[in-house]
Chain A
Amino acid sequence: MTAPSADARSVAPPRLDGHPDGEARSASAAVRWGGLVVVTAALLAAWQILPSGVQGDGSSVPKLDAVLKALGPSGEWGEYLRALRTTLGEAFFGLLIGFVAGVVLGVLLGESRILRQGFYPYAVALQALPPIALAPIFVIWFGLGMESKIGLVGAATLFPILVSTMAGVAETDRGRIEMATAFGASRSQIRLKIVFPGLVVPIFSGLEISVVLSFLAAIAGELISANAGVGVILQVYQRDFRLAEEFAVLVILVAVGLALALLVRLARHFVLERMPNE
């Protein structure tokens, strides 16, 4: 690195080109969109052609047109939607429980040093336990219905919210609290005007993780034992070799997952917009 060798000099210019602003934008945009279209077309074509090529046990990957047909108006939409309603209901009520418990416990642990010291190691240990592993116990406790999945979702979503809320309380600007104290604010005023508004952003970042987790935990719980829901129809389709329907459900799940993520973003935007400015 001491003296610029001929080799280094010859390499330097393209690197400057690779720099974010170095390229001519219009040309590279065309290349990128072209690349995206070509790759997508190739993938879709492969999906249509290849499964028939390995027809030996061809049922193992459904062809694209079969999946599209299962997604079309002649698909099993009644079944899909019923399953989705069950799963989303479980995810929603479980998330509600996890959210309320997570925020309350997070505030408690964040505000009290002694509680934090006493309970935080256990929170860390419990968080290291994969929440899915609790599913069989929730089935014993609450049976095969929605309740066991709601419990599982609650347990799975609790910790991300608890941890981010606690971190939010701990990271409250000390200077602002001191200033408020100097102006004679009471403890409850400090909480309402300084600590709690500062929690909105961290709680939303915990919520973003938890929403994804809630959907995942509901499906995982259904895969293990349930009488209705997405996890159940996924297993039924697999057992009956109805893979077109199976893949159709997976495509629907992608759409629902995207919609959920978008919903949290919108909610965050909406809430932050409405918050009083500092």
Chain B
Amino acid sequence: MSKVTPAPDRVRRREPAAARRPLGTGLAARAAFLLLPPVVVGVVGVLLIQLVISRFEISGVVIPKPTDVFEVMRSEIFMEQIGESTWQTWKATLIGFVLGAGSGVVLGTLMAESRLVRFVLYPYVVAFQSLPKIALAPVCVLWLGFGLTMKFSFAAMLAFFPAVIATLAALSTVPRTRLEMATAFCASPRQRFFRVSLPSAMPGIVSGLEISMAFALIGAIVGEFVAPSAGGLGQLLLTYSEAINVAAEFSVLVVLMVLGVLQNKILFGVVRAGTERFFESSR
């Protein structure tokens, strides 16, 4: 409600400022101001690395020249391999995320809504949380083999716990006053959950899901590291590592970084905006 009222006011206040200077230069100036430092750092950094490596004749095994990395990334074989591997890895990440984070949100909700469930399961969640779950990778290989099943199961396991914890935390910090108001208006438990608790908890849950997704990617890659025939980016990294082709390894890392930014920042930016929009009506 408070979001609706100031809107006309804000528009009125902004108008004279926009009239004073042309919109284009303002935007361009602001964009330049924001983009200039990172671009300068990037360009100077890459040039500096290139220069230092060729000046001091540092071996390509230690740090590959940026030009070598670009060359690898432009080659056709790499493009072919990387496309296939990226899809392999992301498929496992996505399936793992949906399974792990989905069941995590459900369990977190159950734990937040029922004191009994919370009390009984909390010690187990804490115990599992303090286990470095990467250590379960060998057992997962033993149980599930070397294929996609092992990868997405491992990813799901890593994605599960952040979702549980975030959902539990977000749902149990819903402002008491809002719940009391819903009760006072005779909302049914279902209404109270879907109209009050869930919209209030949504930002927290979405941040938890973002962590889950990052962990799912880690899980998929570790799965590929541990299972010697699983394919994917992890496998590609190991192959290049065995061939001591460091330039190609860096190229894979660049791709992985782009994948990480795309899924963690861009995808979740959209998801965040979407959920905010969706739940705005009920807030």
Residues of A within 8 A of B (CB): 1, 4-5, 7-9, 11-12, 14-16, 18-19, 23, 28, 31-33, 35-36, 39, 60, 114, 117-122, 124-126, 128-130, 132-137, 139-141, 212, 215-216, 219-220, 223-224, 230-231, 234-235, 237-238, 243, 246, 249-250, 253-254, 257-258, 260-261
User: B61 on the interface (CB 8 Å rule)?
Assistant: yes
Q: B220's closest neighbor in chain A, by CB?
A: A130
With A119-B41, A250-B136, A257-B131 already in contact, the answer to whether A15 and B183 are too (CB < 8 A) is yes
Contact across chains for A246 and B62 when beta carbons are under 8 A apart: no
Q: B250's closest neighbor in chain A, by CB?
A: A137
Q: A36's closest neighbor in chain B, by CB?
A: B120
Contact across chains for A39 and B187 when beta carbons are under 8 A apart: no
Contact across chains for A35 and B119 when beta carbons are under 8 A apart: yes
Contact across chains for A130 and B261 when beta carbons are under 8 A apart: no
Contact across chains for A223 and B119 when beta carbons are under 8 A apart: no
Q: Which residues of A contact B214 (CB under 8 A)?
A: 128, 130
User: B237 on the interface (CB 8 Å rule)?
Assistant: yes
The one of A118, A215, A237 in contact with B37, judged by C-beta atoms closer than 8 angstroms, is: A118
Q: B158's closest neighbor in chain A, by CB?
A: A216
Contact across chains for A139 and B241 when beta carbons are under 8 A apart: yes
A contact face: mostly helix, strand, loop, or mixed? helix
Q: Which of A4, A126, A136, A257 has the most CB of B within 10 A?
A: A136
Contact across chains for B143 and A60 when beta carbons are under 8 A apart: yes
Q: B190's closest neighbor in chain A, by CB?
A: A11
Contact across chains for B260 and A129 when beta carbons are under 8 A apart: yes
CB distance from B183 to the nearest CB of A (A): 6
The one of B134, B237, B244 in contact with A216, judged by C-beta atoms closer than 8 angstroms, is: B134
The one of B41, B237, B253 in contact with A118, judged by C-beta atoms closer than 8 angstroms, is: B41
- What 0/1 pattern do residues 115 to 140 of B give for CB contact below 8 A with A? 11001110100111111111111110
Stretch at the interface among B1-9, B48-56, B65-73, B221-229: B221-229
Contact across chains for A238 and B132 when beta carbons are under 8 A apart: no
13 A-B pairs within 8 Å (CB atoms) are namely A32-B119, A35-B116, A36-B123, A60-B142, A129-B256, A130-B214, A130-B217, A132-B222, A139-B241, A140-B244, A237-B138, A246-B138, A250-B136
Q: A128's closest neighbor in chain B, by CB?
A: B260
Instruction: Give residues of chain B (132-169) contacting chain A, Cβ–Cβ below 8 Å.
Output: 132-139, 141-143
Q: Which residues of B contact A135 (CB under 8 A)?
A: 225
The one of B135, B238, B260 in contact with A219, judged by C-beta atoms closer than 8 angstroms, is: B135
Contact across chains for B138 and A15 when beta carbons are under 8 A apart: no
**Contact count band on B:** 35 or more
Q: Which residues of A contact B38 (CB under 8 A)?
A: 117-122
Contact across chains for A223 and B41 when beta carbons are under 8 A apart: no
Contact across chains for A253 and B257 when beta carbons are under 8 A apart: no
User: B246 on the interface (CB 8 Å rule)?
Assistant: yes
What 9 A-B pairs are tightest by C-beta distance, nearest first?
A128-B260, A257-B130, A136-B241, A118-B37, A238-B138, A117-B37, A118-B41, A4-B186, A32-B119
Q: Which residues of A contact B187 (CB under 8 A)?
A: 1, 8
The one of B139, B238, B252 in contact with A238, judged by C-beta atoms closer than 8 angstroms, is: B139
With A117-B38, A212-B132 already in contact, the answer to whether A132 and B119 are too (CB < 8 A) is no
Contact across chains for B241 and A140 when beta carbons are under 8 A apart: yes
Contact across chains for B131 and A250 when beta carbons are under 8 A apart: yes
Q: A236's closest neighbor in chain B, by CB?
A: B138
Q: Which of B186, B189, B226 has the most CB of A within 10 A?
A: B186
Q: A4's closest neighbor in chain B, by CB?
A: B186
CA gap between A212 and B211 in the complex, in Å: 15
Contact across chains for A140 and B246 when beta carbons are under 8 A apart: yes
User: B86 on the interface (CB 8 Å rule)?
Assistant: no
User: B75 on the interface (CB 8 Å rule)?
Assistant: no
Q: Which residues of A contact B256 (CB under 8 A)?
A: 129-130, 133
- Inter-chain pairs besides A32-B120, A133-B221, A140-B241, 8 sampled, C-beta below 8 Å: A16-B183, A117-B34, A128-B265, A130-B260, A133-B256, A220-B225, A231-B135, A254-B127
Contact across chains for A223 and B183 when beta carbons are under 8 A apart: no
Contact across chains for B134 and A219 when beta carbons are under 8 A apart: yes
CA gap between A15 and B192 in the complex, in Å: 10
Q: Which residues of A contact B234 (CB under 8 A)?
A: 133
The one of B183, B249, B260, B261 in contact with A136, judged by C-beta atoms closer than 8 angstroms, is: B249
User: B270 on the interface (CB 8 Å rule)?
Assistant: no
Contact across chains for B37 and A114 when beta carbons are under 8 A apart: yes
